[in-house]
Amino acid sequence: MGHSQYVIDENDVLRIAFLFFFVNHVARERRGQCFHNFKIQVILDNMKAYLDIVKNVLENGKKVDTRTGVKAYTIAGTIFEHDMSLGFPLLTTKKTPFRLISSELEFFIKGITDKKWLQDKNNHIWDEWAKPQKAPYGHDEISKKKMLEERDLGPIYGFQWRHFNAPYESFDSNYEGRGVDQIKKIIETLKTNPRDRRMIVSAWNPLQFNEMALPPCHYAFQVTVIDNKLNLLWNQRSVDTMLGLPFNIASYALLLHLLAKEAGLEEGKLVGFLADVHIYENHLEGAKEQLSRDQNKYKLPKIETTNWKSIFDWKNEDSTIINYESYPRIPFEIAI
């Protein structure tokens, strides 16, 4: 008999073990033989969905030119999906810095556009970007230096979340009460009409693209409540699979966690609709190294948030990852 493989979660181990012994018993009784080739593989959901995307791009991606000047192997469209009850989706096949992810999310939730706020928290993931009117985008050394030195990022993600389409002036202007506070609106809806199907937050504002350091890659998200569980689904136009996507997954998982806490709901599913999904040419060896690692060596961690008042008072230090173990980090150079 050929091999049979069952992909199961941790809770099914006892049931599948019983099934294995039962099938062998029936085989011996009825046919006088065992299923010697019957194979059971226990696979915990340790970010298999993410690793499957990496494998898909490596196997099926087409080599294309990109804006950054670095060629990338690219596929058109895939979906990431994770059940939050299985653990917090922080990669275990390479070390992923939760501190950077959580402080960037706080930066977005507060609607801040001053990258010095991040730098003061020793977070440098936005260092190379700047508002184009103050430091025009370019690959030459003079442009790179200006972009590095300029602190204003323009009306990027958090600004659109909290002040959608308010006229943008500067990183240090007061925008209170200006534009549309999309985060406030969905929280109000979650508490008053949780089955509403229009709880969408968009960072995609073509009217202000020319003022942004970078048009949003993950440009919108929606929350939907089913059976008292809050689910979050995000849309992403451009997906840097090796460097950016692990951050995006953990960031939206953290946002899901915070919104569920704010609304008094359970945590449901995290889903990502991913469009132009790519692995840069200079990331190939790191991608192969990551796929070679045993995804089941470490369990997914849990998340715990303390000092809770509201999502608007939340600080990234209030959320802690519990029992996080992983393989060492894999360095990937960012493509600007």
Would you call 218 helix, strand, or coil by DSSP? strand
156: CB partners within 8 A, 6+ apart: 113, 203, 212, 213, 214, 216
Spot the catalytic one: 54, 100, 101, 217: 217
Q: How many angstroms separate the CA atoms of 30 and 161, rounded?
A: 65
Beta carbons of 275 and 237 less than 8 angstroms apart: yes
34 catalytically annotated: no
209: CB partners within 8 A, 6+ apart: 215
Phi/psi of residue 19, each to 5°? -60, -40
User: Which residue in this structure is represented by tokens 């050929």?
Assistant: 2
For 110-181, where are the alpha helices, taking DSSP H only? Answer: 115-119, 141-149, 157-163
Q: How many angstroms separate the CA atoms of 155 and 83, rounded?
A: 32
Beta carbons of 131 and 213 less than 8 angstroms apart: yes
Catalytically active residues, by annotation? 217
